[in-house]
Amino acid sequence: MARTWWKEAVIYQIYPRSFMDSNGDGIGDLPGIISRLDYLAYLGVDVLWLSPIFRSPNADNGYDISDYTAIMEAFGTMADFERLVREAHRRNMKVLLDIVLNHSSDEHPWFQQSRSSKDNPYRDFYFWQPHPPNRWQSFFGGSAWQHDPTTDAYYLHLFSPKQPDLNWENPQLRRQIYRFMRFWLDKGVDGFRLDVIPLISKRTHWPEGYADDFLRTVREVYANGPRVHEYLQEMHREVFAPYDALALGEGIGLTPDTCLDYVGAHRRELHVLYHFDHLFINFGPGGRFDPVPWKLSEFKAIFRRWDEAIGEEGWINIVLDNHDFPRMLSRFGDDHTYHEASAKLLATLLLTLRGTPCIYQGSELGMTNARWHNLEELRDIEALNAWRAWQRAGRHERQAFLEAAAINGRDNARTPMQWTDAHAAGFTTGTPWIKVNDNYTRINARRALADADSIFHYYRHMLALRKAHPTLVYGSYRPLREEDEQLFAYERADADGRYLVLLNFGSTTYPVAELVPPTHRWLIGNYAMPTSAVEPLRPWEARVLEVGS
């Protein structure tokens, strides 16, 4: 297995809007991030993934770009950005920019031109049809075809109508995009997180999707289009290879049997990707706002399936939450009775699976989902559109929708970082753009830094452990007791060592004696070192052992 920096690195995802506000306007910004780089360096992360920082009307909080080579006004200036890259590099942290290539904002000059007339040179930078050629639905609800009166035609938008899909069939479009990407690489950026990249090649015969199965439509109709690999190999030649830039793909619509087509080392397309199977695990037939129960055995099977698919050929980004999903501690842990233990257990899972882990901002503090008291508190276009869709379907139960949004809504991950127990959790001196989670007086960085046993310091120790034991990066992954609904256990092994990870996803003790080989050494855990490593796991206990071969 080739040893490379991006396999050994740990990524930290920053959602700039909610990370740190430096000028009191209630919106996070680049100077705010710079003021927290020492905190991130102390935590021990290697790469910062910044969610989009480009000019945007913020219909989808930056995932709707109106100028690919300008900084969003609310986030600061180009000088701020150049300082951020310099300051991150000075602290040995790399910078990945989240770039959205599947669609632009409808306020991008290209789209303003394109919509203005049928013979405008930019007309074919987007997809126009005289009538909707199919009944595709947007990720954000409603038809994916929007009528535009100026030329009495319809344009495609897989997300909101303010996010028209770019036409990658057009070589001029592709050339311009590569120019934009090189603009940022010339400023020292180390790579990109590529938003919904499997969607960029459209099936231009416009086949129908599956009315009753949106995620199958995503997999089989929206994603993995006929020219996607041609485009990515071109992007690799034009952008990634010349700069040795990292290409991290958001793998919406990917399956285990298609992933190596994107990240196989010989493919010269992307280096690493993250998938969604475990992130969609509790999405019911009605999607995100139709939450259903999930089982640990299913959760574990997903990790094994993907580990086998990636094999020795590819590489994967391990993500347990991000700005699009509820907080992992509330979703996969126990954020009430075993808040600290389960937060540390999930940190152990995240940092000992095979792949490059990504810590989402605030996970290191044990941040949780918020309590939502009314719909006016929600900010996310996906939630607000879904509520309107409920009402159109005759469903007016506000409380029921609020409960669904409280479980699976994206706003849960977008409440401000909790820095202190002062006003607005120290995120802003003003009024934050979205409410602060009311547990900030108990859960905040200042308190965590001062407590040697905090979740924050556990993350620091886990990050140091990963660095000290490369087998936790490169070793094989062998799951144990896969059918068990309480224990998540696996071995990591290679010529340099063998490790056993035991995670008790439950509030009762769990016997592990027969899983522990005779020669073993306890390395780390979320409880005090057990008198013997073979004693039963305590509730939500994580135990990492080095074991003899």
Give the residue from 154, 120, 149, 150 showing the smallest Cα distance to 134. Answer: 154
Continuous H helices in 290-380? 296-310, 328-332, 339-352
Q: Print the binding letters for residues 375-404 with ligand ISL: x by CB under 6 A, - otherwise.
A: -------x----------------------
Least Å distance, CB 165 to ligand ISL, is 11
Least Å distance, CB 404 to ligand ISL, is 13
Question: Which residue, 173 or 424, is less far from ligand ISL as judged by CB?
Answer: 173
Say how far apart CA 343 and CA 340 lie, in whole Å: 5
Question: Which residue, 23 or 258, is less far from Ca ion as judged by CB?
Answer: 23
Residues with Cβ < 8 Å from 316, sequence gap 6 or more?
A: 259, 263, 272, 273, 274, 275, 306, 307, 310, 354, 355, 356
Exposure string for 341-375, b = 16+ CB within 10 A, e = fewer: bbbbbbbbbbbbbbbbbbbbbbbbbbbbbbebeee
Residue with structure tokens 């050339």?
175
Question: SS3 for 3?
Answer: coil
Nearest-10 crossing angle of helices 455-468, 339-352:
20
Interaction between residue 21 and Ca ion (CB under 5 A):
yes
The site partner of 307 among Ca ion, ligand ISL, none (C-beta below 5 to 8 Å per kind) is none
Question: Which residue, 326 or 333, is less far from ligand ISL as judged by CB?
Answer: 326
Say how far apart CA 68 and CA 76 lie, in whole Å: 15
DSSP 8-state class, residue 537: B
The site partner of 29 among Ca ion, ligand ISL, none (C-beta below 5 to 8 Å per kind) is Ca ion
Tell me whether residue 496 is one of the annotated catalytic residues.
no
Q: Print the binding letters for residues 247-286 with ligand ISL: x by CB under 6 A, - otherwise.
A: ---x-x----------------------------------
Least Å distance, CB 72 to Ca ion, is 11
Q: Print the binding letters for residues 93-132 with ligand ISL: x by CB under 6 A, - otherwise.
A: -------x--------------------------------
For residue 524, list its beta bridge partners.
544
The site partner of 324 among ligand ISL, Ca ion, none (C-beta below 5 to 8 Å per kind) is ligand ISL
Question: Which residue, 351 or 383, is less far from ligand ISL as judged by CB?
Answer: 383
Residues 332-371 that bind ligand ISL (CB under 6 A): none
Say how far apart CA 92 and CA 88 lie, in whole Å: 6
For residue 203, list its beta bridge partners.
none
The site partner of 27 among Ca ion, ligand ISL, none (C-beta below 5 to 8 Å per kind) is Ca ion
For residue 196, the tally of other CB atoms under 10 A from its CB is: 23
From 60, 98, 148, 250, active-site residue: 250
Residues 24-43 that bind Ca ion (CB under 5 A): 25, 27, 29
From 98, 148, 195, 340, active-site residue: 195
Q: Print the binding letters for residues 177-196 with ligand ISL: x by CB under 6 A, - otherwise.
A: ------------------xx
Tell me whether residue 25 is one of the annotated catalytic residues.
no
- Residue 132, exposed/middle/buried by CB under 10 A (0-12, 13-18, 19+)? middle
Q: Which residues are catalytic?
A: 195, 250
Q: Residues in the site for ligand ISL, rule: CB under 6 A?
A: 60, 63, 100, 139, 159, 195-196, 250, 252, 288, 323-324, 382, 410
